[in-house]
């Protein structure tokens, strides 16, 4: 599919979603991005996946992760290693554990909604800001979705956007290719990737 065709599709889709969200909503682009990734993967139910994001607001999510797992997460990614150098060196788990809770779903699991929600911070590799703002920003986005759900057609509209997207011939793309195209069009690419182009 040509880039122009994708841009037009995304513009029309965003216009449809603006019927459900205020213009400055944090959730609009992440929800659109997640919808398109979900449409290609066809895993589970989009509404359930978005509702499941509340899980990441619970500190207990990482309670069962051993310190070594968390340290390994920070040490294996160069940008995270640099951002948290002092905490890694001193094995400051009191600081690393809450940062891990925020960064693991965004950077480690590459959860589409969260990656889009924090795309600007990811582009700047500002991992500390992601960790600091994670709860606030995710709560805000989920509250916007909850308010939008008062209009009963939200999930039907998102499903229709996903189906329309698939009818345009995106099924043949790999997950990585699809994410790269969408991030490029939605302005979500990392600065390092932009410099390479």
Length reported for the chain: 197
CA distance 80 to 74: 5
74 in a structural domain: yes
Give pLDDT tens digits along the chain (197 positions). Answer: 466 777 788 888 888 888 899 878 988 888 888 888 887 776 667 777 787 787 777 777 777 889 999 999 999 999 999 999 999 999 999 999 999 999 999 999 888 899 999 999 998 999 999 999 999 999 999 999 999 989 889 988 998 888 888 777 766 566 676 767 677 666 654 433 333 33
Residue 26 belongs to a domain = yes
- 197 in a domain, yes or no? no
Residue 173 lies in a domain: yes
The answer as to whether 194 is a domain residue is no
Q: Measured between alpha carbons, how far is 131 from 151 in angstroms, rounded to an integer? A: 32
Domain that holds residue 113: 3-189
Integer distance in angstroms from the first to the last C-alpha of the chain? 20
pTM exceeds 0.85: no
Q: Is residue 195 part of a domain?
A: no
- Residue 172 main-chain phi, psi, to 5 deg: -80, -15
Domain membership of residue 185 (yes or no) is yes
Q: Does residue 140 belong to any structural domain of this protein?
A: yes
Domains of the chain: total: 1
**What distance in Å separates the CA atoms of residue 173 and residue 170, rounded to the nearest whole number?**
6
Give the tokens for residue 165. 């997207």
């Amino acid at each position: 599919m040509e880039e122009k065709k994708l841009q037009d599709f995304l513009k029309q889709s965003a216009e449809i979603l603006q019927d459900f969200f205020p213009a400055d909503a944090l959730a609009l682009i992440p929800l659109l991005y997640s919808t398109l990734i979900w449409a290609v993967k066809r895993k589970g139910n989009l509404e359930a996946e978005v509702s499941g994001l509340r899980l990441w607001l619970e500190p207990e999510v990482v309670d069962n992760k051993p310190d070594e797992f968390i340290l390994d997460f920070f040490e294996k990614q160069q940008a995270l290693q640099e951002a948290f150098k002092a905490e890694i060196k001193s094995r400051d788990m009191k600081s690393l554990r809450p940062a891990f809770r925020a960064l693991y779903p965004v950077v480690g699991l590459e959860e589409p909604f969260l990656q889009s929600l924090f795309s600007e911070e990811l582009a700047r590799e500002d991992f500390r800001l992601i960790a600091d703002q994670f709860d606030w920003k995710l709560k805000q986005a989920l509250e916007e979705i909850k308010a939008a759900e008062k209009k009963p057609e939200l999930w039907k509209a998102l499903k229709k956007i996903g189906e329309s997207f698939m009818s345009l011939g995106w099924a043949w793309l790999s997950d990585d290719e699809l994410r790269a195209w969408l991030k490029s069009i939605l302005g979500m690419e990392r600065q390092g990737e932009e410099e390479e182009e």
